[in-house]
Amino acid sequence: MSGRIEARFAQLRGEGRAGFVAYVMAGDPDFERSKEILLGLPAAGADVIELGIPFSDPMADGPAIQRGALRALAAGTNLQRIFDLLREFRRQDAATPVVLMGYLNPLLSMGYREFARAAADAGADGVIMVDCPPEEADPLADALDAQGLALIRLATPTTDAARLAVVARRTRGFVYYVSVAGVTGGKAVDAVAVAPQVERVRAASGLPVAVGFGIRTPQQAAAVAKVADAAVVGSALVDAVAGALEAGEDPAAAVRRTASDLAAAVRTSRREAVHG
């Protein structure tokens, strides 16, 4: 077990601030440029990286991440290439936790045990599977446990107290709180409404809570960072890739810019809260 997730959240607690979790799609727009994007994220202020596994039918994602997945698949991205990408990243960064996020079928296709072995070997720390609720998760959790990988669970506005106990079972690292009922990049987060939910999830799981799904702007990220242990931004970064491609610019530079602004907002939000 790498312990990178636990170490990072302990460090954040020590610094008295929330973390910035950056989601990018693996292989978007192609292997080389995706590598450059990934390598630039820690310097831009990403505390944790969520690396999207592209899937043909991403039913919980909005148009931005759907298009990112299509670009990555068109460039030939598959799990083997994602592990290659991750290995390249680990050569330069041994501290930033990387969580693989996606849908179950590519993992099933490879086989859970083989996936877990290869993911751990490449330097992954955890896995988030959008279409794998706790009721269906045991075989995957067994395979991940055997390799010391965390299966990070999702809690949502529709998760009531009874279900929260189910969600918290066998989860490790942190809990991902989906702040809005909707797809990624859709509705905007309401940080005030999220605050008690974060408390609820924290109490039930005893784990840090990262909030995502409705955060696009530095303002929104800062508001969430005041109440959560981390703020996750995905669609805005994937959109930065799309925008740069459209404008004939460098996607890695565009992602760095967007990520830096978001990271700065997250880092300073609690300080601002104290000083005024």
Partner 1 sequence: MTSAVSLGPDTRANDYHAWPDARGRFGEYGGRYVPETLMPLVLELGEAYAAAKADPVFQAEVAECLRTYVGRPSPLHLATRLSEHLGGGRVYFKREDLNHTGAHKINNCVGQILLARRMGKTRIIAETGAGQHGVATATVCALFGLPCVVYMGAVDVERQAPNVLRMELLGAEVRPVTSGSATLKDAMNEALRDWVANVEDTYYLIGSAAGPHPYPAMVRDFQTVIGTEARAQVLEAEGRLPNAIVACVGGGSNAIGLFHPFLDDEAVKIYGVEASGEGMQGRHAAALNGGRPGVLHGNRTYLLQDKDGQITEAHSISAGLDYPGIGPEHAWLHDVGRVSYLTATDAEALTAFRLCSRLEGIIPALESAHALARLPEIVQAAGPSGVVVLNMSGRGDKDLAAVAAMGDQAR
Nearest to 57 by CA among 175, 183, 169: 183
Nearest to 92 by CA among 126, 46, 42, 47: 42
Q: Count interface residues toward partner 1 (CB under 8 A).
A: 42
Strands (E) across 85-161 are located at 98-102, 126-129, 150-151, 154-155
For 90, half-sphere exposure in the C-beta direction (CA atoms, 13 angstrom radius) is 18
Q: Which two tokens stand for residue 44?
A: 């831009």
Please list every residue from 203 through 262 that binds partner 1, using CB under 8 A. none
For residues 20 and 12, give the distance between their C-alpha atoms in angstroms, rounded to a whole number: 10
- Active-site option among 61, 125, 229, 239: 61
Q: With binding defined as CB under 8 A, does residue 106 bind partner 1?
A: yes
Catalytic residue status for 131: no
Q: Which of 75, 104, 195, 253 binds partner 1 (CB under 8 A)?
A: 104
Q: Which two tokens stand for residue 158?
A: 């529709």
- Active-site option among 47, 50, 125, 239: 50
Distances (CA, A) of 244 to 22, 56, 264: 18, 23, 21
Selected range binding partner 1 among 35-43, 153-161, 197-205, 247-255, rule: CB under 8 A: 153-161
Q: With binding defined as CB under 8 A, does residue 57 bind partner 1?
A: yes
Q: Which of 160, 161, 246, 276 binds partner 1 (CB under 8 A)?
A: 160
Please list every residue from 115 through 144 that binds partner 1, using CB under 8 A. 130-133, 135-136
Q: Which two tokens stand for residue 257?
A: 């810019």
Cβ closest to partner 1, residue 190 vs residue 261? 190
Catalytic residue status for 50: yes
Contact residues for partner 1 (CB under 8 A)? 55-60, 62-63, 66, 73, 78-79, 103-110, 130-133, 135-136, 153-160, 163, 167, 178, 181-183, 186-187
